[in-house]
Amino acid sequence: MGRSKIAAIDLFSCSVLYLSIPMDSSVSTLLVSQLPLEREDQKDHGDSFLHPPFMQKESSVPKNFIWPKGDLVVAHDELREPIVDLGGFFRGDLVATQHVVLLIRAACLNRGFFQVTNHGVDPRLVKMAYHHMDNFFKLPASMKLRAKRTPGNMWGYSGAHADRFSSKLPWKETLSFGFHDSGSKPVVEDFFKSNLGMDFEQTGVVYQKYCEAMKDVALAIMELLAISLGVHPLHYKHFFQDGSSIMRCNYYPPCKEPGLAFGTGPHCDPTSLTILHQDQVGGLEVFANNKWRNVRPRPDALVVNIGDTFMALSNGRYKSCLHRAVVNRYKERRSLAFFLCPREDKLVRPPEDLVCRDGTSAYPVFTWSDLLYFTQYHYRADDATLPNFTKWLLSSKSASDL
Ligand SMILES: C=C1C[C@]23C[C@H]1CC[C@H]2[C@]1(C)CCC[C@@](C)(C(=O)O)[C@H]1[C@@H]3C(=O)O
Ligand SMILES: O=C(O)CCC(=O)C(=O)O
Ligand SMILES: [Fe+2]
């Protein structure tokens, strides 16, 4: 789990090693070349990862990327989830809004997942976001590592999270950065300029706009979620207004043995509400009615899922969605995930009238900063983050009372 600073420095020097390996520049190669530096693991894996994948006899997926058989259950069915048309709500049509509220309520009580269309985000902006993402991920490793994530920090570039974990590595590269309103200071633009230089100014401008658009959609959905729970319509919208959200670009290289690895393993997002756009390749799967089901990509739709923090804010009524991303043999896949989060020090607790109606609080009061810390230092987010976090919080509180 938590890896040291040394691992991050090793990761960097490793990329230099990678550059001398005569293979395609796909990052899976980079990921593989990082592995020898996971020194304590060398014993466990024999010499399989001392060689680039084409030299391995047993499998072309290094052992550190192989997930347990129990997790690797294949999805055969498609998820037929309501597509929620937000057009009427944005036009102020009350009948259409009532219909949308009922659809959202049913989806959230059930598994915390739906998709929205007519969401108001300009398709040209989405296209630009993919274009800039492609430019970034095809850079040489040494350039990408200029923006590398530092230990304990959510922001930056990460290759397979190999600096954080040593097993069940995800077959992906990610670029993450924070987004919050800070007056006239464009935080996203600044992130790109300060980490990657002025050549990335335009990338910063595009992602600044993309995050603003995602926040608008997320806050509109917060209004609908509040109505659907019978609380003040602006309750959650106000709660998240000054939030500190996270944007992540996911790049999944093709994988020679997709049946052994995951792009992103099974998990519920610890965050509040995720607004995701996936490209046309497909790979997102949701656990529904006891089965993994794939979500067919729709270019005009944004995928929305409830995260652990909103589950707590709804007093456990709305389900945090269990999902994962699979990889495939032939084609790289990309997704853009915006994770709506509250301001880090804000108390996460459901509105009082909800607790009164339920007669009890489902979770202890916490801050987003507590949960974020838990996922970055103590626990790798999975399908049981929220119950484990609750236990951890209660035990650390009672220990501090001693
Ligand atoms: C707060 C977060 C932690 C993760 C990024 C955001 C929201 C989703 C989380 C994550 C994607 C869940 C699966 C495991 C994880 C480690 C990953 O594969 O990236 C998680 C993210 C993280 O801790 O970086
Ligand atoms: O790439 C995807 O479709 C899902 C990614 C995801 O679940 C995440 O980043 O939290
Ligand atoms: Fe997720």
Alpha-carbon gap, residue 73 to 374, rounded angstroms = 28
Q: Which residues pair with 348 in a beta bridge?
A: 366
What 3-state class would DSSP assign to 351?
coil
Query: What is residue 6's predicted lDDT score, i.e. its pLDDT?
Result: 23
Binding-site residues, ligand 2, Cβ < 6 A: 248, 250, 264, 269, 276, 278, 283-284, 323, 325, 335, 337
Centre of ligand 1 from the C-alpha of residue 98, in Å: 34
Q: Which segments of 120-269 does DSSP mark as H helices, in order?
A: 123-137, 141-144, 187-196, 201-229, 235-241
Evaluate whether ipTM surpasses 0.90: yes
Query: What is residue 58's predicted lDDT score, i.e. its pLDDT?
Result: 55
Residue 108 pLDDT greater than 70, yes or no? yes
Q: Which residue has the higher pLDDT, 165 or 33?
A: 165
Q: Which residue has the higher pLDDT, 79 or 15?
A: 79
pLDDT tier at 126 (50, 70, 90 boundaries)? very high
Least confident of 51-65, 195-209, 385-399: 51-65
Joined tokens for residue 259: 């049946």
pLDDT tier at 399 (50, 70, 90 boundaries)? confident
Residue 102 pLDDT greater than 60, yes or no? yes
**DSSP character at residue 147:** G
What 3-state class would DSSP assign to 391?
helix
Residue 361 to residues 35, 60, 344, Cα–Cα distance (Å):
45, 49, 21
For ligand 1, atom 5, which residue shows the shortest CA distance?
269
Spatial strand order of the sheet with 77-78 comes to 77-78, 291-294, 284-288, 323-325, 264-267
* DSSP character string of 264-275: EEEE--SSSEEE
At 170-186, the pLDDT tens digits run 999 999 999 999 888 99
For ligand 1, atom 18, which residue shows the shortest CA distance?
264
- 315: alpha, beta or left, given left = phi > 0 and alpha = psi -120 to 50? left
pLDDT tier at 46 (50, 70, 90 boundaries)? very low
Question: Residue range 381-389: average pLDDT?
Answer: 98
Question: Residue range 322-342: average pLDDT?
Answer: 98
**Secondary-structure breakdown of the chain: helix, strand, coil percentages, each rounded to the nearest 5:** 45, 15, 40
Question: Residue range 55-74: average pLDDT?
Answer: 84
Which domains are seen in the chain, by residue range? Answer: 68-397 (2.60.120.330)
